[in-house]
Structures are given as structure tokens and as C-alpha cells.
Structure 1
Amino acid sequence: GVRFVYASSAATYGDGSRGFSDEDQKTRELQPINMYGYSKQLFDLRVLREGLQDRVAGIKFFNVFGPNEYHKGDMASVVFKAFHQIRETGKVRLFKSYKPEYGDGGQKRDFVYIKDCVEILWWLLNHREANGIFNLGTGQARTWNDLIRAVYAALSLPPAIDYIEMPEALRGQYQYLTEARMDKLRAVGCPVPFSPLEDAIGDYVKNHLLKADPYL
């Protein structure tokens, strides 16, 4: 039959209070906090309910960035948006923090480069024995400040960040930390390494965003 690999999302983890484990029992307990995450959770639950997890691969993508996202508008990565903010204004805007344990710009995400994601998807397509619902992040959360500084570094510019108020409507559903547990994907033998954040952003900016033709 045809190999079936589908996209789920780290949005299924909601506010992160239940952790970021992709084990099947934990998946059943998750409580997404927006309709996008809920829609992905419903499909994951259907896979588990019908016992398909030994025949398909579902991928919970964390914060993906990289080439060919230029059509996505508001859904494009912060790397892409920051690049254009810097070119237009010299500054980048980030949301302030409303939790004392996180400084402004200190909120954390598991940023993962699209080129690494494609390598992993290709590996899964060619290893039909590797089935289940898997996280796809680097396993190491980094701050928004780290991300923005890396964009400035790729442009050989000093960072200039403005911290702005978060809209009230977002505050109740904002994730302060996402970090993939990657044990399960590694346990099925996937050997693909992840690019360090600074290297990935450097490649994206210098070899794509700064080029006349930014596409892969």
C-alpha cells in the first residue's frame, strides 16, 4: 500500500502544562487551547482509536522556519517576519512577558529548520517500519531573544528589539514554553541530526532571504 505520513502539530500540547510527551497514553490526555490544535488532536485521537499507529506516521511539528514559506502571510515564521522588519525599520517587535519566571523575549520555543524536517520526513517515507505519532522539534527550546539576535547576526547588524504589549485575547492561550521530547523518534532509529539555531538562521538569511531568488 501507499506510505501514509501526516502533519499533526505541537499546538496539541495546549499551554504545555501536561508536558510534551508524544507517547500514546499522553496524547489521549492533551487539552489544546485553540481550534487549530483541537483539529490536529482529533485526527491523532482517531488514529489511536482505530489502532492505526502501527501503520502510519504522524508528525507533531514544533516551530518550523525556513525557505519557501513566503506565501504564508501572518502564519510565516518569526524569522521571516523579523528579517523584513529589520530591512524596513531596523527593529524587531516581540511580545512582553506576563509571567515573572520569563523575561521579555525570554519565552521559549523549540525552533526547527525546515531542511531538517524534510530530511526526517524523507527518512520516515523510506522506513515503513517506523510508525506512530512523533514529535518533530530539536528537543532544545531557545528564547525569542536568541532567535532575533541570530537574525541580526546573519545580517551583521547589532540587535534592536522593542517589547510590545500582547493583545488581551492572546494572553490566555499564549505558550511560554514548547520543547519536544524526541526519545520516541530516536527510538525507531531516525539518525537525522538537527542544525544549531544560529547555523540554520544564517543559512536561511544568507542563502535564501538575501537572494534575488529565495526559493529552494
Structure 2
Amino acid sequence: MIIVTGAAGFIASNLIKKLNSEGFNHIIAVDRFDNPEKNKNLEDLKIQKKIEREQFFEWLDKQNEKEVEFIFHLGARTDTAEFDVDLLNKLNTEYTKKMWEKCIDMQIPLIYASSAATYGLGEFGYEDDENKISELKPLNPYGISKNEFDKWALKQDKKPFFWTGLKFFNVYGPREYHKGRMASVILHAYKQISDTGKMKLFRSHNPDFKDGEQMRDFVFVYDVVNVMIWLMHHRKNSGIYNLGSGKARTFLDLVKAVFRSMNKKEDISFIDTPEDIRDKYQYFTEAKMEKLKSIGYPHEFTDLESGVDAYMQEMKL
């Protein structure tokens, strides 16, 4: 059996769908199943059992560890505007420490979700060099909680026999409709253009960037899933890895791709970035992907236009 935490969420439900397509149907889905909209992500998936997040470790202790083939720990409090430090520490740091220790005791390989939010403003670049992780300065409590676990993991003398932390960049794609304001800009663009025929972007407040030319590393969720499944089969070269497309693109590129894919005439305007986030606004992110490629990952990543087209096609289904 394969355990997936955060199972009803965006990335995890896409992962389960891909696992099902490869014949892995003994999936243990771990989450809080109290959100009807989010639970729709599980309706078309083959799942052996659902376990509430708070009951998971008790359930795991009763299992024969030989039955558990792999754990994908993707569950977390992912709201970058969450300022309850105790909650983030409990769900993102301490829960993952317990998962790590169980994987050591039961000899279960582990992939867990870190985040590109750990890089902060990118003062130290976006290279997944484990020697630099202690120097990083995340901009919000969410990023801090993820970085604290990364730092803790690297200091441990005992580790799972295979483990990987993945720093997800700006992931977009199907099954994110429940995320509200935390959904990708692509989904927000689709909704705004559908409703108004127009799209508003944040104006640049940095003289080095023109309006709309702020850049992000946008990565298609199917690419993210492919990396995780490849690592599950690979099971060597443990460590912390970036997971982006490796190519920064502008918000204008993104929105123009959405207009084109929707067969709509471009109508883009700009509004001021809210003052309360202006000093923490990232103008450039780009994952350095050489480390993942160096261990043999063979696949190319979907370019933004192709990813938007594929996503928009799914929107129409």
C-alpha cells in the first residue's frame, strides 16, 4: 500500500490519479475530510481507505510495516498568509518530524513537501544546495515552518533509508479549484476573464521590472507528479530538491497564454500591489533544476503555453 497525506488536496489528488493509472490502487488517503468541495478531488480515484489526519499515527502503529511500500507526505497548512505560528509549527514541522521518525522505525521510504517559500526574496539564489539551507530567510511563517523542518532533517544522524524533500515552486493545474485565493494565478485569470473579459495584474513597484514583467517559475502539476513517481521508483540519492520548471516566465506571458487559450481578446490592466505585502513581494523566482537532472531524471518540463492549454482544456470538460 502507498500512503498519501493531504490526499484531497491539489497536488496529492493528482498524484493519486497518476498512481492509479500505473496500477497502484491500494492507496491510504490521509487528510481532514471536512471540506465537501475539496473532497470532490477524490471521487474519481481508487482508494483503499481514508484516515483522518489526527488518527493516522495510531492507525500506522497497528499496521504491518511490510505492507506499506511508500509514504508521500504532502499534507500541510499551506496558506502563506497564516500567522498562527503555533498551528504552523504543529502541522508543518512537528507532524513531519513524527512522520520522519516513523519512517525510520518502520523502514518506509518518504517523500515530503517542502516549498520554494523557504527562499524568501532569493537573496541567496534558488539553488537547492543543502549547505545554504540554514542561511535562507523565508518571508512568512509558512515558509519558516517548512525551512525549519528542512534544517532539522539535515541535522539528523538517523534518516529513512530513502527520503526526499521537494521544494515546490508555483504549481498550477487541475484539481486546485477549492484553494480560493491560494489557487494559481492561472485559475484566477481564467475566472476573471470568464466573468469580465478582462484581467488585472499587480503593478511593479520595482524600477528593475516593468508592469507585468515580474517573473515566477510556474510548473505544471503533471510534471510535479511525474517527478515524485520517478523518485519513488528510483529510491536513491536522498536529499532536498527543487521542483519547478527551471524557467522563469512573466505574469504577462501567463495571462496572454490564458487569453489565447480561451480565444479571448487581450484586455490587461494594472493595479497597485497592496502596501501590506509590497515589501515582501517576490519579483523573480526560478528553480535551479541541475541537481534533479544530475541524478538521472530524464523528462523535460512542460512549457507555460502548453501547460495553460492543457489546463484550459480540462476546464472545459
Q: 1:120 aligns with which of 201, 224, 227?
A: 227
Amino acid at match of 1:80: L
Paired with 1:192 and 1:117, the residues of 2 have a C-alpha distance of 11
Task: Give the Å deviation of 1:20.
Answer: 0.5
TM-score (norm 1): 0.94
Task: Give the Å deviation of 1:54.
Answer: 7.1
Amino acid at match of 1:34: N
Q: What SS does the aligned partner of 2:234 have?
A: coil
Amino acid at match of 1:17: E
- 1:11 matched to which residue of 2? 117
Name structure 1 gaps, 5 residues minimum.
Answer: 212-216
Q: What SS does the aligned partner of 1:121 have?
A: helix
Q: 2:171 aligns with which of 64, 73, 88?
A: 64
- 1:35 matched to which residue of 2? 141
**What does the per-residue CA deviation read over 1:153-195, in whole Å, with 9 as the maximum and x for residues that have no partner?**
1011221112001111101111000000111111111112101
Task: Give the Å deviation of 1:2.
Answer: 1.7
- 1:21 matched to which residue of 2? 127
Larger proportion of helix: 2
**What does the per-residue CA deviation read over 1:16-60, in whole Å, with 9 as the maximum and x for residues that have no partner?**
111001111111211101111101100100111114487310000
CA contact (8 A) 2:197 2:264 kept: no
CA contact (8 A) 2:109 2:160 kept: no
Q: 2:207 aligns with which of 97, 100, 109?
A: 100
- 2:45 matched to which residue of 1? none
CA contact (8 A) 1:53 1:131 kept: no
Q: How many residues align structurally?
A: 210
Name structure 2 gaps, 5 residues minimum.
Answer: 1-106
Map 1:1-216; keep pairs closer than 5 Å. 1-51=107-157, 52=159, 55-206=162-313, 208-211=314-317
CA contact (8 A) 2:203 2:212 kept: yes
**What does the per-residue CA deviation read over 1:84-112, in whole Å, with 9 as the maximum and x for residues that have no partner?**
10000011111000011101110000000
Task: Give the Å deviation of 1:62.
Answer: 0.4
Instruction: State, as a whole percentage, how many aligned pairs show the same letter.
Output: 46
- Structure 1 runs of 4+ aligned residues shifted over 6 Å read none
Paired with 2:221 and 2:242, the residues of 1 have a C-alpha distance of 14
Which has more radius of gyration?
Answer: 2
Task: Give the Å deviation of 1:125.
Answer: 1.1
